[in-house]
Amino acid sequence: MASKFSIQFLGGAGTVTGSKFLVRFDGHNVMVDCGMFQGLKNLRELNRAPLPIDVRELDSVILTHAHLDHTGHLPLLAGAGFKGKIYCSEPTFELSEIILRDTAKIQEEDALHANQGGYSKHNPALPLYGTRDVEKILPHFEVKPPHQWIQIAPRIKFRFQLSGHILGSVFIELDCGDERIVFSGDLGRKHPLTLNPPAQIENADYVVIESTYGDRKHPREDLFDRFAKIISETVKKGGQVLIPCFAVGRTQDILHILARLKSAGSIPDLPIYLDSPMAIRTTRVFDRFPTWHKLGPEDLENLERGVTMVSDSEASKQLQKDDRPAIVIAGSGMMAGGRILSHAFTKLQEPKNTFILVGFQAAGTLGRFLRDGSDEVKMFGKYVPVNARIEEISSLSAHADQSEIIDWLKGFTKPPKKAFIVHGEPHSADALRVRIKDSLGWPVLVAVMSDQVSLESGG
């Protein structure tokens, strides 16, 4: 008997953020990822819109990884009456807790500042959620190991496989009856710097594939040379190198690169500050999961050696005033919030400083404005001239580029019934669609926000 079987795209469709995919099968509702929208205002406003499903009828959420655009909506579920479980890998649980607590705190502080500064259009500004909401959702988490099938309903099971994107990130193979849907989550690079490479999945009836870099190839440049050159040139001018950074993943890659450059004498021996409590906590999570990455004990020790960890907010304020040559790593990666903003407010105005963008910059974020060459940006309600040097090192990306995505898809032994493209801005998603059609000949569709697509069920 055919079952009612469908997938609905509640986020991560037409945009890179807000990933939320709802699978309905056999009377069960399973959500894969539950991310926050970030970037443009009209996207951010979606975070406050109710989901098109009664959350009390949601049986479970399965997470691909801890990044906010895949987990940031979770605290809102508890308030809406969610009674189910949230399945994830063990590192994803630890990192999600760090990320969600940090996000709640930032939102509470931002709302407070906006109300005090009077620059919010909402009166009063309200945080999307607070620490109490995070605490309400944490008991729903249940960690599961990779490689093992986990039965979550009589005819529904899933399995995690390592995806090489960040610590703890996984692909999800979701079996509904006889049909298998594979969710790529964020697909890592073929040769990640600090993580194990992505596993090859071989079978799927449906594939949901990300397309962040679906339209381009990362430059095949020597990362270490590039960093060394930019840092040395900036220090010669007496400036600071500021690296807006994703706390989870990219920060550890950068600390690893800087440690190697320093020990090889390729960069001057200048102070390195990690001005992000979240990144500091995350770096320590690496120590506890040695099988989830390829850093040895010595590499891990070197990550923190010679780096000043700035947890305390008073120390961070002092550092913001200090403009002597140094490397400052601070969140957030797209400059959408966090301590990097307070640094940027003054340091963007100085031509001697360099900002290095090291990850994807979503439309509408400060990082994207800088990447696109804006000579003036609006911050904290004021216009700030951009005189600092802006560099982008996209080869450090934690996302596969177009050719790496196609190579991974080529590893499937037979074409799926359909591939759905998600997690990309429209031109990237469409470029990948054309490429999949031309190179693989698969039936392929760019997912549209809110669309519910019926899937064929074999049994």
Residues that bind Zn ion (CB under 5 A): 67, 186
Give 303's contacts (C-beta < 8 A, 6+ positions apart): 252, 255, 256, 259, 283, 286, 295
Q: Which is closer to Zn ion, CB of 191 or CB of 414?
A: 191
Residue whose Cβ sits closest to Zn ion: 67
Q: Which is closer to Zn ion, CB of 29 or CB of 71?
A: 71
Is-contact 146 409, C-beta < 8 A?
no
Beta pairing partners, 181: 174, 206
Per-residue CA distances from 453 to 32, 53, 71, 449 (Å): 15, 15, 23, 11
Q: Which is closer to Zn ion, CB of 17 or CB of 353?
A: 17
d(CA 107, CA 379): 16
CA 349 to chain centre: 28
> CB of residue 62 vs Zn ion: minimum separation in angstroms?
15
> CB of residue 317 vs Zn ion: minimum separation in angstroms?
30
Q: Which is closer to Zn ion, CB of 368 or CB of 389?
A: 368
Q: Which is closer to Zn ion, CB of 102 or CB of 186?
A: 186
> CB of residue 98 vs Zn ion: minimum separation in angstroms?
15
Residues 430, 434, 437, 440: is their CA dihedral positive or negative?
A: negative
> CB of residue 165 vs Zn ion: minimum separation in angstroms?
6
Q: Which is closer to Zn ion, CB of 362 or CB of 370?
A: 362
Per-residue CA distances from 224 to 230, 354, 357 (Å): 10, 17, 15
| Amino acid at the residue 276 | S
Q: Which is closer to Zn ion, CB of 67 or CB of 343?
A: 67
> CB of residue 67 vs Zn ion: minimum separation in angstroms?
4
d(CA 413, CA 442): 12
The dihedral region occupied by 150, where left means phi > 0, alpha psi between -120 and 50, and beta the remainder, is: beta
Residues 422, 426, 432, 437: is their CA dihedral positive or negative?
A: positive
> CB of residue 405 vs Zn ion: minimum separation in angstroms?
14
Two tokens, residue 113: 């500042």
> CB of residue 353 vs Zn ion: minimum separation in angstroms?
28
Q: Which is closer to Zn ion, CB of 8 or CB of 92?
A: 92
> CB of residue 299 vs Zn ion: minimum separation in angstroms?
22
The CA-based dihedral angle spanning residues 393, 398, 402, 406, taken in that order and rounded to the nearest 10 degrees: 150
